[in-house]
Structure 1
Amino acid sequence: MSTSHAGVHHPVHTRLVLVRHGQTDHNRDGRLQGQVDIPLNATGRKQAARAAASIAQNPPDLIVASPLDRAHETARIIGAACGVAVTTDAAFLERSFGAWEGLRGEEIRGRWPQEHAAWRAHRPVPGLDIEERHVVGERVAAAARSLIAENTGGTVMVVAHGAAITLGITALLGEDPETFRGLGGLENCHRSVLEPLVSDPSGQAMRLLSHNLPPDFTGAP
């Protein structure tokens, strides 16, 4: 889609902003969260408030959050500052880590040494209900593409989780979530910005504009 003025055509830019939730006690203590529903702690709420103040200077058109409380509360704090209502979508849930959720790395390594070694080497870990990387990437990417297609020319903000966001971005860039390791993870309340290529405004082909921007980042994304 494009607009024109005096015979000049200008592409309409749609933006996708992906925000990781604020800190929780599990984050602070080095525990694997997955889909355990852990709330923000005091630090996480402060991080969300800082992110909200900067995002409100250039607010999104809509905000969609994972239904897990840590993401939903972060989104509500941002939404209140921006005057934007928040909806939820289970497609943006964190990756499930099955039997490992709530445990520290040393606990996992001690009880499942072979499986832990395989996971650290980015190999599949069967039998523990750990969601495969490509499954997470595709569910996040599919939901993001739908939002982009429905909101051409707008800014779509999704508040979700570290692994879900990183794997979703990987899939949106057309890379294989099982093998691609070119993205670092997002820190708490940091955000990344993508947009569809002009040649494919549906969001099937995306480019990454910014990655891991801090909560108080105030420049144009």
Structure 2
Amino acid sequence: MTSICIIRHGETDWNAIGKLQGRTDIPLNETGIFQAEECAEFVKDFQWDVIVTSPLKRAKQTAEIIQRKIDIPLIEMEEFVEKGFGKVEGLTLQERVAAYPDGNYPDEESDLSITARVMAGIQKINEAYKDKKVLLVAHGVVINMILDSLSNGEISSAKTRLINACISNISFQEEKWKIKDYNQVTHLSKYLEV
């Protein structure tokens, strides 16, 4: 059984103020670094074979912080780069609505394109790391496309807002992918009940 623990990257300054990042390469902020450290602390007690990451700074930094704690190979895969939002990257929701009230953004990557790219990446992981345990550090839209595809639309960005540094788990068993859980945040101190 191939298992993939999918981790959304930690927070960036643009996340904190609601700017759409897409492929704009923004690094983690202090909160994001702390969230990545909390993820590392959470996953360190489990056995992992490899970390796969998007090459964008916010994902790669998250993956590198985790790797320092568990010392396993880290590879970058372009398939898991965030969706390109074209001309609206760097804009807040209010700015996007004002500029493009119909929601059609110039030069935006289509959902069909990103879904095909991301699911091809999942297939590559399954072929290269069959019956292994993989950590995958990626982005909100990327993770939502995986969850949407595997749940036949039951879990999607229209229904679920993925939290920075959340964890979702999928596994390939009996010749199909299954979602074990998603958007888990109990490892993040910000969400612990006091």
What is the TM-score normalised by the length of structure 1? 0.79
The answer to whether the aligner puts 1:191 opposite 2:164 as a matched pair is: no
Question: Does the aligned pair in 2 maintain the 1:163–1:185 contact within 8 Å?
Answer: no
Q: Does structure 2 retain, via aligned residues, the 8 Å contact 1:141–1:169?
A: no
Paired AA for residue 88 in structure 1: E
Deviations 1:130-153 (A, max 9, x none): 111121112111111111122122
Classify 1:47/1:15 alpha carbon distance in 2 versus 1 (closer, same or farther; 3 Å): same
Larger radius of gyration: 1
Matched to 1:131, the amino acid is E
- 1:168 Cα deviation after fit: 2.1
Listed one character per residue, the Cα deviations across residues 73-102 of structure 1 (whole Å, up to 9, x for unaligned) are 000001111111211111100011000000
Is residue 186 of structure 2 the alignment partner of residue 208 of structure 1?
Answer: no
Give the whole-Å Cα distance in 1 for the aligned partners of 2:155 and 2:130: 28
Matched, 1:182 2:155: yes
Q: Is residue 14–residue 155 contact of structure 1 (8 Å, CA) maintained in 2?
A: yes
8 Å Cα contact 2:54-2:78 kept in structure 1: yes
The 8 Å contact of residues 31 and 105 in structure 1, kept in 2 or not, is answered as: yes
Does the aligned pair in 2 maintain the 1:22–1:44 contact within 8 Å? yes
d(CA) in 1 for partners of 2:18, 2:9: 15
Cα distance in structure 2, aligned partners of 1:129 and 1:91? 18
Matched with 1:133 is 111
Structure 1's unaligned 5+ residue stretches are 1-12, 117-124
Instruction: Report the number of matched residues.
Output: 185
How many Å separate the matches in 1 of 2:100 and 2:107?
14
Indicate yes or no: 2:15 matched with 1:39: no
Deviations 1:154-196 (A, max 9, x none): 111110100011112322x163xxxx36331321111111111
- Identity level (%): 31
SS at match of 1:95: coil
SS of 2:137 mapped into structure 1: strand
**1:182 alignment partner AA:** I
2:36 alignment partner in structure 1: 48
Query: In the alignment, is the contact (CA less than 8 A) between 2:13 and 2:28 conserved in 1?
Result: yes
Q: Give me the whole-angstrom Cα distance separating, in 2, the residues matched to 1:174 and 1:211.
A: 11
Q: CA deviation at 1:33?
A: 0.5
For residues 25-104 of structure 1, what are the structure 2 equivalents within 5 Å? Answer: 25-104=13-92
Which residue matches 1:169?
147
Judged with a 3 Å threshold, the aligned counterparts in structure 2 of structure 1 residues 168 and 72 are, in CA distance, closer, same or farther, namely same
